[in-house]
Structure 1
Amino acid sequence: MRNPLDPAELNAALENVHRAGMPGLFAEVRDCDQVWRGAAGVAGVATGRPVTADMRHRIGSITKTFTAAAVLQQAESGQIGLDTPIGQYLPKLVPGERGDTITVRMLINHTSGLAEYLPYAYPSFKAYPDLAGTGPQSMDDHRFTRFDPTELIEMGVTAPAFGAPGGTPGLYSNTNYLLLAQLLEQVTGTTAERYITRNVIERAGLRDTEFPAGPYVDGSHSQLYEAWFGKLDPPRDYSVFDMSYAGPSASLISTVADLNRFYGMLLAGEIVSPSSLAQMQRTGPVISQEGKMIDYGLGLHPMEGPGQGTFWGHGGTVWGGGALAMTRADGKRQMAVAVNLQRWNRLDSSGRPQPHPIDDALATLYRVAMYG
Structure 2
Amino acid sequence: MSGIIIIGGGQAAASMAAKLRAKGYEHEITIIGDEPVPPYQRPPLSKAYLLGDMPLERLTLRGDDWWAENRITLRLGAPVETIDPAARTVTVGGDTLAYDELALCTGAPPRRLPASIGGDLEGVYTVRTLADVDGMAPEFREGARLVVIGGGYIGLEAAAVARKLGLEVTLVEAAPRILGRVASAETASAIRALHQRHGTEIIEGVGVERIEGDTRISGVRLADGRTLPADFCIVGIGVIPATDLARAAGITCGNGIVTDAFGRTSAPHVWAAGDCAEIELAGQRTRLESVGNAIDMGELVAENMLGAEQPYAPKPWFWSDQYDAKLQIAGWNAGYDTVITRGGDGQSFWYFRDGALIAVDALNDARAYMIGKRLIEGAKPVTPDQIANPDTDLKALMK
Which protein has the bigger helix share?
1
TM-score by length of 1: 0.29
**RCO higher in structure (CA 8 A, sep ≥6):** 1
TM-score by length of 2: 0.27
Larger C-alpha radius of gyration, 1 or 2?
2
